[in-house]
Amino acid sequence: MTDRLYVGTRKGLFVLDRAEAGWAVVSRHFLGVGVTMVLPDKRTGRVHAAVQHGHFGTKLHRSDDGARTFVEAATPKYPPKPEGLEDIEPFRKKPVPWSLMQVWSIEAGLPNQPGRLWAGTIPGGLFKSDDDGDSWQLVRSLWDHEGRKRWSGGGYDFGGIHSICVHPEDGAKVSASVSIGGVWRSDDDGESWRCDGTGMRAEYMPPDLAQDPVAQDPHRVVQCPAAPEVLWCQHHNGVFRSTDGGDSWTELQDGLPSTFGFAVAVHPTDPQTAWLVPAEKDECRIPKDGQVIVARTRDGGQSFDILKDGLPQQDAYDLVYRHGLAVNATGQTLAMGSTSGALWVSDDQGDHFECVQAHLPPIYCVRFDGGF
Amino acid sequence: MAVVHFTQNLRRHVSCPSVSVGGNTVAQALDQVFELHPVLQSYVLDDQGGLRDHVTVFVDGCQVHDRKTLCDALKPDSEVYVMQALSGG
């Protein structure tokens, strides 16, 4: 049974353990400061946390004592911007700052890649470490790619990498998903990149540009560890699934109350089973009818169960951000955290939820110890 | 020597006692501070070496003009305050 959860919020990192009486907060870190991502690395036991000081920049901290104490570690740093270089975000027409704004994703490499970490950031840099976070290198092959100049901001002013999927059998195969900029893939450990998957569509683009892979806004992309050719994507205007490693995507619509949302989680061993948290579309970004629900499919997205038990069904305006939904390594236990600071856990794949914390700060990310 | 002071809000996160340093410009003075306290640099400056958006520096009561290269001049007895902007939520 999974018994530890890390919850990154706008006002700190909260560590919860499951005891006989239920889930309880056992430690709090960085109170008052945002924690945008946390990675409990099951290879080493080390816990990495991205700490976002409003005034003083983003830092990485890590713990080697089971999240009792954290120390500041090296932080990804952008290289000097060449004099005279024009690097403009295409929607807002603002210069792209070559400066770390936010660490949006951190993922570990494979067990046979000791020390390997990946970090996705805003404004769009992907960073790699081969010494377990003692130093970071900007992946220039992606940053300098012509296609990167077409990445644009959405909710944030600049595009960023929020989802990094490392192929569980071949660590050289990596994908980095960009809001807004599509799903980028590398087969050579980040030496070269392509964004050429077909099948996604962008409602917010003119019709003749709607299929453009780089124009897509994948809100979250996850990969099934046991069937890595299967990827799930909660996109800005739809839910998509790929069974060929991202070469092509199929849109799923039947049975979903809304196609808008941020989060998606996939079962670790069953690529047919996934969970989404639909919300009222774009213009509102609230739960439909004030009811928090989870949509679960067990047939690859052909149909969805709408799960409500234990979730608020009246005047609830909790939104679940892209990293706010997690499943544990057994695929049985789900955790979900909202913008209103509610944290729910289910031990039966979502049939029943229990609210284990009601008043945390707005939740950015939840992650199980030993999860993926 | 100029004296550089740091906002209490920063002291909460990283060690930054007031320190007397040489230098003819804000950049030179801060460089000396960062030699003494290397971790401090990324809290005050962004990746390109400019002042962070929500950090400001006063020299003898006046806000600095050059936030990018910090070339504002110092006098031998200048008082430099590294402060945070009033922003956030």
In this prediction, residues A66-84 reach a mean pLDDT of: 96
For A263-311, the pLDDT digits (tens) are: 999 999 999 999 999 988 766 788 888 999 999 999 999 999 999 999 9
- Express as a percent the part of chain B with pLDDT over 90: 87
**A86 pLDDT higher than 90:** yes
Mean pLDDT, range B48-58, rounded to an integer = 94
Residue A267, φ and ψ in degrees, nearest 5: -60, 140
* Partner-chain residue, chosen from B9, B52, B88, that has the shortest CB–CB distance to A57: B52
By residue range, what is the domain housing residue B27?
2-84
Q: What is the pLDDT of residues B4-46, one digit of tens each?
A: 999 988 988 998 999 999 999 999 999 999 999 999 999 999 9
Q: Where are the alpha helices (DSSP H) in chain B?
A: 8-11, 26-36, 41-44
- Report the percent of chain A where pLDDT is more than 90: 90
pLDDT score at A372: 67
- Cα–Cα distance measured from residue A245 to residue B82, given in angstroms and rounded to the nearest whole number: 50
d(CA A342, CA A165): 27
Is there a domain that residue B89 lies in?
Answer: no
Residues A35, A13 contacting (CB under 8 angstroms): yes
* Superfamily designation of domain A4-368: YVTN repeat-like/Quinoprotein amine dehydrogenase (2.130.10.10)
Q: Do B10 and A57 touch (CB under 8 A)?
A: no
Find the CATH number of the domain harbouring B71: 3.10.20.30
Instruction: Report ipTM (2 d.p.).
Output: 0.84
Starting from the edge strand earliest in sequence, which strands make up the sheet with A231-235, in order?
Answer: A218-223, A231-235, A238-242, A250-252
The stretch A182-211 carries a mean pLDDT of: 96
Give contacts of B 6-35 with A, CB under 8 A: 9-10, 13-14
As a whole number, mean pLDDT of residues A140-165 equals 96
Residue A1 has pLDDT above 80, yes or no: no
Count of domains for chain B: 1
User: What pLDDT is attached to residue A205?
Assistant: 92
| Chain A residues in contact with chain B using a Cβ-Cβ cutoff of 8 Å | 33, 53-57, 59, 72, 75, 77-81, 97-100
User: What does the mean pLDDT of chain A come to?
Assistant: 95
Q: Which amino acid is at A291?
A: Q
- Reported as a pLDDT band with limits 50, 70 and 90, residue A253 is confident
Region A70-92 average pLDDT: 95
pLDDT of residue A2: 53
The average pLDDT across A48-60 equals 95
Give yes or no for residue A255 having a pLDDT over 70.
yes
Q: Which of B6, B14, B34, B42 to mutate to test the interface with A (most CBs of A within 10 A)?
A: B42
Give the pLDDT of residue B87.
62
Does residue B88 carry a pLDDT above 60?
A: no
Residue A297: other Cβ atoms inside 10 A: 23
State in Å, rounded, how far the first CA of chain B is from the last one.
37
CB hemisphere CA count around B49 (13 angstroms): 13
Whether B50 is in a domain gets the answer: yes
Measured CA to CA, the distance from residue A17 to residue A7 in angstroms comes to: 11
Residues in chain A closer than 8 A to B39 (CB atoms): 72
The residue-averaged pLDDT of A74-97 equals 95
